[in-house]
Chain A
Amino acid sequence: MQASSASPVTDRLRAALREAAIAGIIMIGIALPLVGFRLQETPGQGLGIAYRFDQVVIAGVVVAIGRFLVALFRPELQQLRGRLAQGGARTVRGGRVSQTAIGIAACLLAFALPFLPIADRYIVDTATTVLIYTMLGLGLNIVVGLAGLLDLGYVAFYAIGAYSFALLATHYDFSFWMCLPIAGVMAAFLGIILGFPVLRLRGDYLAIVTLGFGEIIRIILINWGALTGGPNGITNIPRPSFFGAPFTRTAAEGEVPFHELFGLSFSSMHRVLFLYYLILVLVVLTAVIAARLRRLPIGRAWEALREDEVACRALGVNATRVKLSAFAIGAMFGGFAGTFFATRQGFISPESFTFIESALVLAIVVLGGMGSQLGVALAAIIVVALPEMTREFAELRMLLFGAAMVLVMVWRPRGLIGTRRPSVTLARFTS
């Protein structure tokens, strides 16, 4: 009697201890070479080594204790997790009804942001960056989330948009409003040129080719100095004007500065606010267009292709054309975002268009939950604002960012707002 009641507990304890010991040993094993020894250069003597074995032991003990607790309370934890998952499922299901409502509320909040008492130049500017990434995310979402094409070189279209605008504006005095559609078309055109030969490749082959394409564009930007300014980039890109009224203290002849037009006193905040609202409107437009596209036959075709390419082709869907359209439209939004980026920065150079940007945008799409626009916005806030908020922990911020990416994926593989289900299902028609 006594034995049978005591043994599960001792068994559990013993098992937990064993797990803890293994975890601790592994931790010491991986920490020993990289934590235990530190390469140090002493001038004149070359590389030396410093020892930090105490930290290795601490790391091992901490991990062992952590593992022990987890192992000891595993059944309880699993129960808790199950309950949380159920609760989560319920909210998601409940939330589905009002996703549009949440979207509208988020928009309203975004429109009101600059009027909140906490909004200063830095906040509004960071919010602008968040919106740029939201726009990129929405564009890539069409390619990856809806059409299921893995694109690791999205930054190329962003760069094309930025450089198209910068070149047209600095050489031919085109205005932002004229360049926006041109840059979009250029990016879309490039998307088609790239997409045409490679879209018959499958999944991961496509990924590496697009990655290579992104790199090629960057290398060309660096090396074609005569056109792109090489590594120096392009400076003095004109800032957008308010329908012809520039945001400057004094305007050139024949122009009225924005603040005089409205009888305000000059403030450089005007431009920051204008840029913020500009990108906000662009993002909302993008979101609406993308949502509409999804309901159109072409959007249905994207999703169908993502779910089962073979079946689609059997049904006579022109797979190449459907993929191309997704690629081109996604590229176009990337081009728009690039144009905006260039006009906001006033200065662009190839270092702003590296692979890590593509990875970040892809992370936004996947973290947000593929196909979900609200998720993209949420993920953009996390990916951009989180590192900004942790500016104070300078050295740790990218470390934490990487860890967060892994943890979110492990915790919610389908993304924060994960609803990758076809927009139409048979169930809706039968019920």
Chain B
Amino acid sequence: MGYFVDQLINGLTLGSVYGLIAIGYTMVYGIIGMINFAHGEVFMIGAFISLIVLLLLAQLGVAAVPLAILVTLVLTAVFTALWGFVVERIAYRPLRGSFRLAPLISAIGMSIFLQNLVQLLQGARVKPLPPVLTGRIPLGSIGDHQLSVAVVQVVIVVVTVVLMAGFSLVVSRTALGRAQRACEQDRRMAELVGVNVDRTISLTFVFGAALAAVAGLLYTIYYGSIDFFIGFFAGLKAFTAAVLGGIGSLPGAMLGGLLIGLIEALWSAYSDIQYKDVAVFAILVLILLFRPTGLLGRQEVEKV
């Protein structure tokens, strides 16, 4: 039982990170119907920027860890958002209104480009960061099994929940959110009623990138080692999460992320670790068979 709870906590932490990245996929898909393959790379850039900012702060002598993390969070989000903006302008905007696969290929190209760019600029070696948040919080015990959770795990889950809540508010309550939803429904109609579609789409990428940047920061702190290739794996899992939850749905992305984190942790706990990715994809296929648009996806109305 204690073992189960331990693995549950691991799964939730991992799932939170996946969920944060998945939001970027799901928003972009919701609004322009494309898989932004380069989103994993934006996350990777976020992780690099956060590591650089953290080290700079350490050099400047900022000793208070919470303050340092907060400053890093803001700076990383801002700079990574700029990257998200530029990627959209260069690789996707000229292709808007083009046929479905063109932006996908452009995105794959962008992903290869960004990976190699960061490798060139920052070197191929793994970048380690000494542990920033250490310590564990005891949670009592079950039988003779001591339960505890790492501080950094708590931080990850809390940051994710806060951001999710804030972001849901943005989408449901603000003018930007309304414009976004309008574009999702019908882009041309939205334009006719005065929504600035280009700006809305740009902002969607900016927000997606900012969330990915936060994920990048959390990832850097949690695992303490990044390289230019992390975007691929994380992006793949996050994308799977977005689809599992129903691509285009915000709560779906979070739910999908958590589910995948849990599946990975629990499968690894009770079965062959080497087949955990098979388990993830197999469950994805199963769910899609019974709910073809994912768990929380809108059912498409189809008339024959």
Contacts and interface: CB of A to CB of B under 8 A. Distances in A.
Interface string B109-120: 111111111101
Contacts of A403: 109, 113
Interface stretch (A11-19, A209-217, A245-253): A209-217
Contacts of A39: 48, 51-52, 55, 122-123, 127
Interface stretch (B4-12, B177-185, B286-294): B286-294
Nearest to A354: B232
Given A33-B52, A212-B281, A402-B112, A203 B100 contact: yes
A318 B266 CA distance: 41
A298 interface: no
Contacts of B29: 204
Interface in A189-239: 197-198, 200-205, 207-209, 211-213, 215-216, 219-220, 222-223
B65 interface: no
Contacts of B108: 359, 362-363, 405
Interface in B272-288: 272, 274-275, 277-278, 280-282, 284-285, 288
B139 to A, nearest CB: 32
A297 interface: no
Contacts of B123: 38-40
Nearest to B54: A47
Nearest to B94: A410
A427 interface: no
A30 interface: yes
A414 interface: yes
Q: Residue among B116, B118, B239, B280 with the most chain A CB within 10 A? A: B116
A401 B302 CA distance: 40
A42 B85 CA distance: 34
Contacts of B173: none
A398 interface: yes
Nearest to A356: B112
Interface string B7-33: 000000000000000000000010000
| Dominant secondary structure at the B interface | helix
Interface in A359-412: 359, 362-363, 366-367, 370, 395-396, 398-399, 401-406, 409-410
Contacts of A362: 105, 108
Contact of A29 (B48, B79, B278, B282): B79
B242 to A, nearest CB: 9
Nearest to A420: B99
B203 to A, nearest CB: 15
Contacts of A46: 128, 130
A144 interface: yes
Given A34-B122, A370-B101, A398-B116, A26 B86 contact: yes
A143 interface: no
Given A30-B82, A212-B240, A220-B278, A201 B288 contact: yes
A344 B280 CA distance: 34
Interface string B52-96: 110110010000000000000000000100110110001100110
Contacts of A314: 304
- Please classify how large the interface on chain A is, using the bins under 10, 10 to 19, 20 to 34, 35 or more: 35 or more
Nearest to A366: B105
B18 to A, nearest CB: 14
Nearest to B243: A208
B152 to A, nearest CB: 19
B35 interface: yes
A48 B100 CA distance: 44
A41 interface: yes
Contacts of A34: 45, 48-49, 52, 117-118, 121-122
A249 B128 CA distance: 53
A223 B278 CA distance: 11
Contacts of B129: 47
B243 A204 contact: yes
12 contacts: A47-B55, A47-B127, A49-B59, A197-B285, A198-B289, A205-B292, A208-B284, A363-B109, A366-B104, A410-B94, A410-B106, A420-B99
Given A49-B52, A205-B243, A402-B115, 13 more contacts: A30-B82, A32-B79, A39-B127, A41-B125, A47-B127, A49-B59, A202-B292, A205-B288, A216-B278, A398-B116, A399-B113, A402-B111, A405-B106
